[in-house]
Amino acid sequence: KANGEPIVGGGKVLQVVSFSYNTLETTTSATFVNTGLELAITPSATSSKVYVMVNASIGCQEYGWFNLVRDSTDLDQGISSGSRTVCTRPLPQDLGSAGGQPVDILFLDSPSTTSEITYRVAWAEQSAGNVLAMNRSSGDADADYAWRGSSSITLMEIAG
């Protein structure tokens, strides 16, 4: 529900699917492009909700953004105003080529379908040419201060 109202009723978990993603991925795109962090689910009823849980290990050379996308629909977006970038989550600057941050997205969706749907993460860099990295630091130096990590997406169908 909107405006922080609690959701009442339903609540039984009908199915859970999960995907652990450890592929090293980068982009320098200033427009949103899909990552490999995606997962499909087929709800059993149109009244079902899908609880989406994303945990991503991100290296961000400058500034960037994540969008949570269901098929081709952006979800959980901020409010558009002027030239500000609308997104699901901002990505933190990693303060050097060895830094990094976990980025979490938790979202309860109401897809109203029994067809297969795919949830994915799309990302964009603030300035084309700067590096966004998933599962590694943006510099990816061969040194003990650099890191490699893993990301995941989990979908839970919840009875409506």
| Rounded average pLDDT per 10-residue block, the chain, 160 residues | 58 95 95 97 97 94 91 95 92 69 93 98 89 90 89 96
d(CA 50, CA 70): 11
* Contact criterion met (CB below 8 Å) for 27 and 138: no
pLDDT at residue 44, as a whole number: 97
pLDDT at residue 151, as a whole number: 97
- Within 8 A by CB and 6+ apart from 11, the residues are 158, 159
pTM assigned to the model? 0.89
pLDDT at residue 3, as a whole number: 56
* CA proximity to 156, closest of 47, 22, 11: 11
